[in-house]
Amino acid sequence: MATECLGVVLRTTPVRESDLIVTLYTDSLGRVSALARGARRSQRRFAGALSTLVLARYQLGRAPRGDVWALDNAEIVREWTGLAGDVVAHAHAAYVSEVVGGLYPAEQPEPEALSILVAAWDSLAAGGASPGALRAVELRLLDLAGHLPAIAQCAACGATDLDVGAVFDPSRGGAICRRCAATSRTTGVRPLDGGTRAYLVAVAEAGLAADLAPARALDTDPRFTAADRAAGREALVAMIVGLVGKPLRSLEYLAKLGAAARRP
């Protein structure tokens, strides 16, 4: 059985002396791992398509009853390798890859996830890192996974009066009203004030546009404070990490970059 798909490399893992296991996110198979024989000795056959920040056409094959895919051939379609020159943009790009790789089960096609990832990389290449654009991407990817967080109404009872005492509870699906909050006791629960809620509503609305420019414009929107943006980020990141079920390496790296930037 052989198949050709469009995809990106999520990660590579060395095996034996000269081979690589390449984990891809593809349009027709979703997340899939394939053995690239001899790739540690020479990548000529794969023409640079085993790098990250590359969209490529991959030819995969496997024995009729085998369960291991072999990567037979690859050809680059587009690349964003120039992002490597901007550490923060590069870290955002890696984070989007890691979220796409973590939110969806293996070998279940979700072609829109690949489109969202490409749109995110395009936005990073065009204008650098943008918190608003990244939040919009997170919401789209969560929606695609069936976990769009409730923002304007309580995820438990549907109440829309969230002005006093509301919290964000990632394990219960988002905003929780004051009455339902009595039973929100997990560690990820945080207060959700009106400013944060308004920011997340604006991100969700901006995220419906064809490109990420409206979401990017929220970075300088005077309606929102730095605290609103930071709380919005913490809420969505908590939701994603909870669903992925393990720490994300790209987030640890972003936290380190943030700490370095705040040094005097």
CB of 161: closest distance to Zn ion in angstroms?
A: 9
Q: How far is the CB of 233 from Zn ion (least distance, A)?
A: 24
Asked if 3 and 29 count as a contact pair (C-beta separation under 8 A), the reply is yes
Q: Which of residues 60-119 bind Zn ion (CB under 5 A)?
A: none
Q: Please tell me the count of residues contacting Zn ion according to CB under 5 A.
A: 6
**Closest CB to Zn ion among residues 98, 169:** 169
3-state secondary structure of 26: strand
Among 159, 189, 213, 244, binds Zn ion (CB under 5 A): 159
The closest of 23, 249, 199, 212 to 117, measured between CA atoms, is: 212
175 binds Zn ion (CB under 5 A): no
- What's the min distance (Å) between Cβ of 166 and Zn ion? 9
55 vs 166 by CB, closer to Zn ion: 166
Instruction: Considering only the stretches 129-137, 158-166, 217-225, 248-256, report the one whose residues sit in contact with Zn ion under the rule CB under 5 A.
Output: 158-166
Of 94 and 154, nearer to Zn ion (C-beta) is 154
List Cα–Cα distances, 245 to 237, 248, 257, in angstroms. Answer: 12, 9, 23
User: Least CB distance from residue 144 to Zn ion, whole Å?
Assistant: 26
**Segment interacting with Zn ion (CB under 5 A) among 58-66, 114-122, 163-171, 177-185:** 177-185
Q: How far apart are CA 166 and CA 169, in angstroms?
A: 10
d(CA 92, CA 116): 13
Least distance from C-beta 200 to Zn ion, angstroms? 17
Cβ at position 164, least distance to Zn ion in Å: 12
Considering only residues 117 to 156 of the shown chain, the ones binding Zn ion according to CB under 5 A are: 154, 156
Token reading at 176: 């929780």
Which of 10, 50, 177, 202 touches Zn ion (CB under 5 A)? 177
**Closer to Zn ion at the Cβ: 68 or 157?**
157
In the chain, alpha helices (H): 87-103, 111-127, 131-144, 194-206, 213-217, 226-244, 249-262
Pick from 103, 81, 26: nearest CA to 58: 26
> Which position has the token pair 């901007």?
86
The structure tokens listed for 254 are 């972003």
To 10 degrees, the CA torsion angle through 95, 209, 191, 246?
Answer: -20
By the rule CB under 5 A, 180 interacts with Zn ion: yes
Q: Which stretch binds Zn ion (CB under 5 A): 1-9, 90-98, 157-165, 225-233?
A: 157-165
Query: For residues 197 and 216, which CB has a smaller minimum distance to Zn ion in the complex?
Result: 197
Give all strands of the β-sheet with 190-191 in edge-to-edge order: 174-176, 167-169, 190-191
- Residues forming contacts to Zn ion in the complex (CB under 5 A) are 154, 156-157, 159, 177, 180
